Amino acid sequence: MTILCIETSTQVCSAAICIGGMPTDLRISIGETNHAQLLPRYVDELLGELTRKGLRIEAVALSAGPGSYTGLRIGTSLAKGLCYGLQVPLLPIDTLQILCASAAAHAHIEDGLLCPMIDARRMEVYTRLYDADLQPKGETRAVVVESEDSLMGEEAGKKPVYYFGDGAEKCQTVLTQPNMHYIAGIVPDAQYMGLLAEQMLAEGFRGADVAYYEPFYLKQFVAAPSHVKGLR
């Protein structure tokens, strides 16, 4: 299938076209935070390229969270609009699993556990353990990383654990055990969503309800008081 993939869960904004699970075109920004401006431009450019090739998207894959409340809302709004207008299925993909797919593409991992981390401020991260086949073990949690045991829970042991993501760097001073391995530079990237989306379809998933779908925030969003004069 020809799938448009959208990832906006962190400070990284990316969109890609994947055909048969493999990326054919990518737009990505690392460091800029204006997803509301970047994402529509990226999607417009990608759809324009498809039109010139005589192709059209058959589904939209969306990073489902957890992650940035604002980022997830931006990606979700655009994805739902496209799915509704083009009458194509919406395929929400676990953001932490996308991180694992990115790590697997950049590092040689044969055994052990994958531990993606999304920054949740201070020493807290959003995380979940996965095996080397990118299959989840346990539930997605918000964890204050104080030791290997606080992170691993019942999975703690001597097997290799690879941790990565924008919440991982701050944990290096705590996760110093010989079996803990930090992988730098791993971000959630839309180009690695294609195979995950194809797998969902192969397993019989036909798409989320576009009207009622909401991202997985994990924690309740609490709006802070505005500091802009006249909006308090």
- Asked whether residue 32 is assigned to any structural domain, the reply reads yes
- Asked whether residue 229 is assigned to any structural domain, the reply reads no
Same domain, yes or no: 15 and 128:
no
Count: domains in the chain: 2
Note the Cα 49 to chain centre separation in Å. 24
Contact 72, 63 (CB under 8 A): yes
- Position 150 scores a pLDDT of 76
- Position 224 scores a pLDDT of 45
- Asked whether residue 213 is assigned to any structural domain, the reply reads no
pLDDT tier at 154 (50, 70, 90 boundaries)?
low
Same domain, yes or no: 21 and 80:
yes
% of the chain at pLDDT higher than 70: 92
Per-residue pLDDT for 227 more than 60?
Answer: no
Same domain, yes or no: 7 and 76:
yes
- Asked whether residue 217 is assigned to any structural domain, the reply reads no
Same domain, yes or no: 166 and 193:
no
- Position 229 scores a pLDDT of 52
**Contacting residues for 36 by C-beta, under 8 A, at least 6 apart:** 74
Same domain, yes or no: 82 and 34:
yes
Whole-angstrom Cα distance, residue 198 to residue 71? 24
- Asked whether residue 194 is assigned to any structural domain, the reply reads yes
- Asked whether residue 117 is assigned to any structural domain, the reply reads yes
Same domain, yes or no: 147 and 85:
no
Please tell me which residue, 40 or 232, carries the higher pLDDT value: 40
pTM for the whole structure: 0.91
Same domain, yes or no: 53 and 123:
no
Same domain, yes or no: 14 and 85:
yes
Q: pLDDT tens across 64-114, in order?
A: 999 999 999 999 999 999 999 999 999 999 999 999 999 999 988 878 899
Same domain, yes or no: 66 and 173:
no
- Asked whether residue 227 is assigned to any structural domain, the reply reads no
Same domain, yes or no: 16 and 82:
yes
- Position 156 scores a pLDDT of 55
pLDDT tier at 228 (50, 70, 90 boundaries)?
very low
Give me the domain span that covers residue 126: 108-182
Per-residue pLDDT for 152 more than 80?
Answer: no
Same domain, yes or no: 193 and 175:
no
- Position 223 scores a pLDDT of 43
- The CATH number of the domain where 89 resides is what? 3.30.420.40
- Position 33 scores a pLDDT of 77
- Asked whether residue 51 is assigned to any structural domain, the reply reads yes
Report DSSP letters for 48-87, one per residue: HHHHHTT---SEEEEE--SS-HHHHHHHHHHHHHHHHHHT
- Position 13 scores a pLDDT of 97
Same domain, yes or no: 6 and 90:
yes
